Structure 1
Amino acid sequence: MTEPTTRLLSLGAGVQSSACLLLAAQGRIPRFDAAVFSDTGWEPRAVYRHLHRLTGIARAAGIPVVRVAGGDIRSDALDPEHRFASMPLFTLGPNGERGMARRQCTSEYKIKPIKAEVRRRLGYPHPIRVPAGVRADVAIGISLDEIGRARDSDVRYMRHVFPLLDLRWRREDCVAFLAEHGLGDTPRSSCIGCPFHDDGFWADLKARSPGEWADAVAFDGAIRHGSARANAEGQPLRGRYYLHAQRVPLDQVVLRPRARRSPEDTPGCGPFTCPHPGEADQVPPEPTDARPTTAGRRVA
């Protein structure tokens, strides 16, 4: 197999990807040419503070942290003139039917911007075809306890690699490693208004960050009838939409946080590691380079 043209890290700024960046900065795994953070525009302030800290660590090691974006997910969802990239909102139909909307947000706001950056670095921006044999290795922060999320890339010009699997590290190893180097408060990376948050996240947000809690409550009310664009065009969606599985307004939810081993024992939402692979991701293929996604990688 030919050598990659470039080596990149998909930096979600959560525990595992932060550990990968620190390992590379210390020379314990091969150095990355860049770490790419795909910014939805709606991460908690704690994540942006941590990203700033990581940027300094990476810069000292000669690894640039690059921020890319596909828009601002919150404002885009409420903009009647913007196409709505569906979020996995909880739905309640006219006759009480319970369901979930499709999830397109991960593709639109995280994966697509990273792919565009990879193409740019390879010198073949879309729609130019990437020649066979030209590729980037993109490191994904998946640990041994999450091996089921490790999958090959769906395009030829990217190969996913998994440094933590090679090290046989589990999430707890990453947490201990970060704490040893003064990063024990690494937050979860995910949008403030992600419907996949558990009650522990919502309770923590309400207690510790009332401004961000109010922001989520306001968003929850604003998306009650779905897409702002569809409503503006006189095509309201059937039923009602909610951020919480109880399907009541967020500020009326009875929160029941489960016991946690630690504040970080639930994963965030990285570009290629969203914790709910069973939901329907709508990842548009790139016809010029696409190939079928293969089964998850195994560790012998």
Structure 2
Amino acid sequence: MLALSAEGILPKIDYAIFADTGWEPKSVYDHLDRLEREIAKPAGIPVLRVSSGNIRSDALNPDHRFASMPLYILNTDGRPGMTRRQCTGEYKVKPIKKKIRQLLGYPYPARVPKGVFVEQWIGISTDEFHRAKDADVKYMQNRHPLIDMGWSRSDCVRYLTSLNLAKTPKSSCLGCPFHGNAQWRHIRDNSPAEWEDVVEFDAAIRKGNARANASGSRLLGEAFLHRSRVPLGQAPIDHVTASEWAALQQELADEDELERGVADGCSPWACRGDADALAQGGFGLAT
């Protein structure tokens, strides 16, 4: 969306916001630097980096309140479980909302007047349209330009390829328990230092986060980053799961589409050419 705005395909946005958990892969930070340098700055679009802290450090700090990650649990009776996921709200949503209130001129605890809001673009494509939701506060109104343009993941990949940005890395915490085996293998095989980091973290949270342990709320079972509920260094990450195989087939299909063209591109109900017209709609930020 940043590139589409910078090129004038979508209206120019006022700001681009990146919520930094403090524990992203180096490739993500490198890519963000490149986007800012090559796309955002030439177009005069400020890239704002916001943060609520470092999620890795917070989990291991006995003096810091920690918003729990969705860790896989093996209870003492052998039954599996999972901790609550609070990290997205704390390390992504919260700092973004804080910055938006500042940009509007009404930082917390000031009340945002009725009718004052920001239009927030969210990059969800048609493949995941079910994730498109309205904002939960009145001072934010969510828009989903990629869905409005009818763009799928394949369309996004094709566009990024045209900008030499096809290798855009996925933004997520290095030690996110929702990683699939393919992501764990990628870290292990391509970044030994980051792999050592996540293996060490996995061992460190075996009995839960440090704050809970310090307060006497020690986890009765054991916590793990990998869904197999064994230490990450021993986890069966070389096994290709059914979902990962399906994702691989989709990637191959996307590559084939890039070479051969879109098979259903002339469907009367889903013509990709309609994206040009939709792109000219009113996606500008509200004032």
TM-score range, shorter chain: 0.7 to 0.9
Unpaired runs of 5+ in structure 1? Answer: 1-19, 266-300
2:87 corresponds to 1:101: no
> Which residue of the partner structure matches residue 290 of structure 1?
none
SS of residue matched to 1:195: coil
2:35 maps to 1:67: no
**Are residue 116 (structure 1) and residue 86 (structure 2) matched?**
no
Alpha-carbon offset, residue 127 of structure 1:
1.1
- Given candidates 10, 13, 17, the residue that maps to 1:36 is 17
Q: Which position in structure 1 is the counterpart of 2:62?
A: 80
Match of 2:221 in 1: 239
Q: Aligned-pair distance for 1:254?
A: 1.1
Q: Distance in 2 between matches of 1:80 and 1:54?
A: 36
- 1:215 deviation in Å? 0.5
Equivalent position of 1:141 in the other structure: 123
Q: What does 1:77-226 correspond to in 2, within 5 Å?
A: 77-226=59-208
CA distance in 2, matches of 1:162, 1:132: 23
Residue 97 of structure 1 and its aligned partner are, at CA, apart by 1.6
Map Cα deviations across residues 129-156 of structure 1 (whole Å, 9 max, x no partner). Answer: 1111000001000000100000000000
Measured after TM superposition, the shift of residue 233 of structure 1 is 2.2
- Work out the CA distance in 1 between the residues paired with 2:118 and 2:194: 37
One-letter amino acid of the structure 2 residue matched with residue 101 of structure 1: T
TM-score by length of 2: 0.84
Asked which structure has the greater RCO (Cα within 8 Å, sep 6+), the reply is 1
Structure 2: give runs of 5+ residues left out of the alignment.
255-287
Question: What CA deviation, in whole Å up to 9, does each residue of 1:38-93 have, x standing for no partner?
Answer: 00000001100100011111010010000000000000010000011110000111
- 1:37 partner SS: strand
- Counterpart of 2:171, as a letter, is S
Residue 250 of structure 2 is aligned to residue 250 of structure 1: no
Q: Which AA in structure 2 matches 1:219?
A: F
Q: Distance in 2 between matches of 1:114 and 1:64?
A: 15
Report the Cα distance in structure 1 between the residues aligned to 2:133 and 2:215, rounded to whole angstroms: 39
Runs of 4+ with deviation above 6 angstroms: none
Give the Cα–Cα distance (whole angstroms) in 2 for the partners of residues 187 and 211 of structure 1.
Answer: 18
2:53 paired with 1:54 = no
State the secondary structure of the residue aligned to 1:99. Answer: strand
2:7 pairs with one of 23, 26, 34:
26
**Structure 1 letter corresponding to 2:197:** D
Equivalent AA in structure 2 for residue 110 of structure 1? K
Aligned length: 246
Deviation at 1:166, TM superposition (A): 1.0
Q: Distance in 2 between matches of 1:185 and 1:227?
A: 34
Amino acid at match of 2:204: A
Residue aligning to 2:26: 45
Write the distance in 2 (CA, Å) between the matches of 1:21 and 1:182: 14
C-alpha distance in structure 2 between counterparts of 1:170 and 1:143, whole Å: 5
